[in-house]
Structure 1
Amino acid sequence: MTDQTSDDGRRAELTANLRQVRDRIERACVAAGRPPEAVTLTAVTKTYPASDVLLLAGLGVLDVAENKDQEAAAKAAEARAAGVRLRWHFVGQLQRNKAKSVATYADVIESVDSLRLTTALDRAVAAVRDEPLEVLVQVSLDGDPDRGGAAGDDLWRVTDAVASSDGLRLGGLMAVAPLGWEAGRAFERLAELAGRLTTAHPGATTVSAGMSGDLEAAVLHGATHVRIGTSLLGMRNSLR
């Protein structure tokens, strides 16, 4: 099989998957009484090659999420070399010593969950960027410290710190439905927190929630961005 044949086959696969995902988003929006354009599809491309990122860009998917700095930096560089402008989201748990690297290519960091990370990112932005970096504060809906996210009063301390920093712009909230929780319950709670946030910070309207298995519940409860990996790109190879 030639490389061109392989590319054509993968493009056809991604095209079909994308159509199905967009149909799901549209149906979810109709059910929620929301316009389909109110929800942005973010492709979670971790473990997949940069070639898939470029194929998705050709299909109109320009928001891309990664969770490891080394992999994300390499893919962002390859996309730039190809002349493709994407909106890069970093969604993994971010170590403070990686803040400067991530700040060089990310457009949005969705996993800020502590005051120390907020400070590190603010300093990193001052060193490597001329424009503010958009931040979503990750919410821990169940308070589990192993899964990342800020809970209780810590959530509001972090959002206020991001909003008052010079180099960061508070975009909104991100959350993952906790294991064992019904998705509707999780995203209803997130919607309550998002409403409280916009009361204090009216511009922080982004709500990143919902993945391949629960995007409908997320859209029903006001998600503005859904993060889709498996339904779009297929099952990941666990050996990668």
Structure 2
Amino acid sequence: MKNANTTRRDEIAASLAEVERRIAGACERAGRARRDVTLVAITKTYPGSDVRILAGLGIRDVGENRDQEAAAKAAECADLPLTWHFVGQLQTNKARSVVSYADVIHSVDRARLAGALGREAVKAGRRVTCLVQVALDDDPGRGGVPPAELPAMADLIAGTEGLALGGVMAVAPLGGDPNRAFARLSELSSVLRVIHPDASVVSAGMSGDLAEAIAHGATHVRVGTALLGRRKPFVR
């Protein structure tokens, strides 16, 4: 319960403690070590001051899904020891900007995008980790490659100068069973690792379904609302 003396840091610290409790509990039930799951704090629509609070509370991985906001926030917080994740759908004309600050890009789902990211990474003298976003439903608006196309996309990323293949990412279908979705993603990850053993990242699970994701092997959970509160609508 908030009161007049509750500070923003207090609010975020309490939320982080609850998220950590949920992650630890899910790991225990799955027979996994807590250290095997990375919490990526999704800070979209929230200010750089919240990123600083999270960093002060020990968060080291921060995610954004809109380049314009992410670029400004990464620059504002450049002095912090953070790994920046880009988790939203990405257009090729944003490749140069995103490569300038993102350490991990979760949403690579097109050959043209992989090529653009690789070229810009080489120009910037960087090597950016990319995950293949896999579509677990038939909604084209949510991005992702069909599961059958995962090996080819993974091979393409692995063979692109400037990029490193990190693994897979997916979002559970709206209204669907997250356990079924994440079990499928786990299967796909296992198949991929036969060909690319180092592609061990499984980015899955958000505020509402992180436990299900962890039960099925997620190595990274992307949590925003449970940490920072319900977001305001994005205004251009």
Query: How would you bin the TM-score normalised by the shorter chain?
Result: over 0.9
> Residues of 2 paired with 1:10 and 1:179: CA distance?
31
Unaligned runs of 5+ in 2: none
Conserved 8 A contact 1:114-1:150: yes
Alpha-carbon distance, 1:239 to partner? 5.7
* Aligned with residue 143 of structure 1, among 134, 138, 148: 138
Helix, strand or coil at the partner of 2:181? helix
Paired position in structure 1 for 2:84:
88
Q: 1:202 aligns with which of 197, 209, 218?
A: 197
1:70-149 matches, cutoff 5 A: 70-80=68-78, 83-128=79-124, 130-149=125-144
Conserved? CA contact 2:38–2:219, under 8 Å: yes
Contact 1:115/1:157 (<8 A) preserved = no
Percent of residue pairs bearing the same amino acid type: 56
> For the aligned residues, what is the CA RMSD?
1.3
Question: Aligned equivalents of 1:157 and 1:135: distance in 2?
Answer: 14
Alignment partner, residue 11 of structure 1: 9
Aligned match of 2:172: 177
Question: What residue identity is the alignment partner of 1:208?
Answer: S
Alignment: residue pair count: 232
User: By how many angstroms is 1:154 displaced?
Assistant: 2.3
TM-score (normalised: structure 2): 0.95
Contact 2:109 2:132 in 1 (8 A): yes
* Alignment check: 8 A CA contact 2:207 2:226 kept: yes
TM-score for both structures, normalised by structure 1: 0.94
- CA–CA distance in 2 between the matches of 1:91 and 1:152? 19
Alignment match, 2:29 = 31
SS across alignment from 2:132: strand
Q: Which runs of 5+ in 1 are unaligned?
A: none
Conserved in 1, the CA contact under 8 Å of 2:22 and 2:211? yes
Deviations 1:192-232 (A, max 9, x none): 00000101000000000000000000000000000001100
CA shift for structure 1 position 90: 0.3
Q: Cα distance 1:77–1:235, how it changes in 2: closer, same or farther (>3 A)?
A: same
Runs of at least 4 residues off by over 6 Å: none
Query: Paired residue for 1:59?
Result: 57
Contact 2:119-2:161 within 8 A present in 1 as well: no
Paired AA for residue 14 in structure 1: I
Inter-partner Cα distance in structure 2 for 1:105 and 1:192:
31
SS in 1 for 2:130: strand
